[in-house]
Structure 1
């Protein structure tokens, strides 16, 4: 992964190019950075996805603290989004495969102490953000409901009351050439 990738992404709005490089644009639409595709190797795409999620929460009116520069010291929380009387603890999970119950347990465990130490008087949420619900939590073929991991995540809301757990979809914008399969 390229050093300073997180800092470069925070400078503006990322866009994924057909060759999997990342262009970063300022508010005026001018390109301010070009990140080569090799920078996305070994987890760099996760930083890009966190930036997409951050911009989504900001667009909805939240003030967002990005914690990606902390690396493994983020204590299981990638973003903290605040609005009056509301705090959202966000874990972004860019995945192209189904999440299992064990992975969900690991995510919740990793974030639990940070969340408990940073609750506000008001509404508190833990959002697990994925690029596509149907990939991360495919429907059960027998009954059409979500998979066991999604059900386990949702069941946590019945067991505790201080934090509401949610799964949020933030689609990642891909060039047509990548979506059609004609790209790299």
Structure 2
């Protein structure tokens, strides 16, 4: 699969138009250093992706969207965590010249802040890149929820969605989560002691 397929590019451009995405850029030149393409996910997202796949003419794009739908289904985030929506980082990319400078980690940290500001209970990062996975885990707010080798995702005929052999850093698909719900406070009760009628009276 290739990200240059026009239908796939159109899909990500549509997500960017939802005004949830984040960019790292040079203030003066406005050169883009990195981007996190974000969107809202719900329990119906997998069905929406399947529906989109069925409408696409390109086999490349159809397989890509079907794979994305299967990833949503296998991850089972909404039922597992009992939430109805998630702030989703759909794609994280940093320009080659600017990698290894913490830009990806900064975008993921900012995504957490944005999700909190907009009252999302959960932030979800789905990625096949070891670099993106490492950046998320380095933030200290994300945990690994789901991890599978990329070639274990197969279509109805048992054929891998990925037609070509994958090379590092794209060998496994992972979903990483940051649970933003308030933590329940546990009130510690003082132990009740039975004095067996031995109270002292004045």
- Of the two, which has the highest radius of gyration? 2
TM-score (norm 1): 0.34
TM-score (norm 2): 0.32
